[in-house]
Amino acid sequence: MSKTPFIYGNTVSFSGFTNREKDREKLFRNLTNGINSMLISPRRWGKSSLVERVVSDLNKNESDIRTVSFDLFSVSSENEFLELFAQEVIKASSSKWQDWLKSGKEFFQVITPKLSLGIDPATDFSVGFDWEELKKHKNEILNLPETIAKKKNIRFVICLDEFQNLATFDNFSAFEKKMRAVWQRQKLVTYCLFGSKRHMMTDIFNNPSKPFYRFGDIIMLQKITTAKWLDFIEMSFASTNKFIAKEIAIKIPQLMKNHSWYVQQLSHYTWQNSGKTVKLKDLNDALEELIFTNTPLYQKEIESLNHSQINLMKAIAKGEPQLSSMTTIESYRLGTSASVVKNKRILINNDIIDKFEGSYEFLDPAFELWFCKLFFGKNFKILNE
Ligand SMILES: Nc1ncnc2c1ncn2[C@@H]1O[C@H](COP(=O)(O)OP(=O)(O)O)[C@@H](O)[C@H]1O
Ligand SMILES: [Mg+2]
């Protein structure tokens, strides 16, 4: 049996990566032209994959640019961030680890980094600072890429994933000011800052009273369209000598509302269930399997919510246009209009719903199918072709 052409769970920057030509081109152009770019979308739509792809395009085509990428998801303090920042910038500045060890003397004036190297230099290089000293000299670290770029006649592109995580640290607003002040003066460093918490990201970058306002281009990453998913699915089946009819293939992005991760997951299960020619039953079984696999997650999600929050989700699932109107509040038992406002905010912060083009939607299409079956007894199987 050949290998599945569908991939989910990791970033897909090469095999499995599809479309996004315009996003790729725009981000590439921005980053080579020194335009900071902030990329925002709900999780699992494809930000990390896109950035990984553009970084590899940069590495291939722009010999004077050094790229730095890391994820802030697991970083838990400002100091940790600064150490990681210095470490990754130093690592990107040269392909030789011998050079990394010299960087302490070469690139730092006021603060002395502790550099250490393990058995495998590529993975075991780390940078530490005396945290008392660090407090006074954050600027030097934040400006490290510019210092190195000037001395070595190179440029840096720095990509920071889940950037909004910084906003959860103590004293973020002071640090935020400092970062912006240092970074905006840099001529040789361009930033790509991206993250999944739409509201936190827009609050950092699109709020006129905040330091990062107008730091660069804000790009709201969109979903890949149904037509493009359709091409991708048909081609991927064909590449492994299987045939899927258009009428069946199109149901995959439709059911998963073009959500990247889920389109890949449902395609994969369908592919796995099918023989040479895909039958509707293969897709139905795949959908059941997908929902079954994810059910523990959905259950956990529901258990963390109270009745009025679940009722609000019911109203959203039914497409009620006016969530705060008296009739909606009464028929769905949503409490008071103040609690509707509060619950909306909680559901948004938990990544369960968000507002798109004026109306609220579930962020997770498979969770929505599961939810509608649980509360409205709605069957999610596709009955006709
Ligand atoms: N351009 C793409 N083409 C095909 N599948 C994609 C693409 N981008 C993302 N995916 C699918 O979505 C999943 C999540 O992508 P990821 O880049 O991790 O999203 P995010 O960073 O927005 O959370 C990937 O594992 C892959 O299955
Ligand atoms: Mg990501």
**Ligand 1 residue neighbourhood (C-beta within 6 Å):** 7-12, 16-20, 41, 43-49, 196, 260-261, 264
Domain CATH code at residue 68 = 3.40.50.300
pLDDT for 13? 76
Q: State both tokens at 200.
A: 């936190």
Report the separation in Å between the CA atom of 378 and the middle of ligand 2, taken as the mean of its atom positions: 32
Q: Comparing C-alpha atoms, which of 315, 302, 293 is closest to residue 376?
A: 315
Asked if residue 3 is part of any domain, the answer here is: no
**In which domain, by residue range, is 238 found?**
225-303
270 contacts: CB under 8 Å, gap ≥ 6: 244, 252, 278, 282, 283, 286
Residues 6+ apart with CB under 8 A from 150: 188
Binned average pLDDT, 10 residues per bin, the chain of 385 residues: 86 80 96 97 95 96 97 94 96 91 90 89 86 92 97 97 94 95 97 94 95 96 96 96 97 97 97 97 96 96 95 96 94 95 94 91 97 91 66
Beta bridge partners of 277: 243
Residue 46 maps to a domain: yes
Would residue 27 be called left, alpha or beta, if left means φ above 0 and alpha means ψ between -120 and 50 degrees?
Answer: alpha
Helix (H) or strand (E) holding 3: none
Tokens of 91: 């690592």
Nearest C-alpha to atom 27 of ligand 1 is from which residue?
8
Distance 50 CA to ligand 1 centre (A): 8
Same domain assignment for residues 127 and 195? yes
In a domain, 190, yes or no: yes
Q: Which of 22, 38, 49, 230 maximizes ligand 1 atoms within 8 Å of its Cβ, making it the mutation to test the pocket?
A: 49
Among 140, 95, 141, 86, CA closest to 121:
95
Whether 168 maps to a domain, the answer reads: yes
Residue 157 within a domain: yes
CATH number for the domain including 374? 1.10.10
pTM here?
0.94
Is 5 part of a structural domain of the chain?
no
pLDDT score at 307 = 95
**pLDDT the model gives residue 9:** 83
Query: d(Cα 120, Cα 88) in Å, to the nearest integer?
Result: 16
Strand bridging mode 114-116 / 126-128: antiparallel
Please indicate, yes or no, if residue 7 is contained in any of the structural domains.
no
The number of distinct structural domains making up the chain is 3
What pLDDT is recorded for position 378?
86
Verify that 43 and 91 share a domain, yes or no. Answer: yes
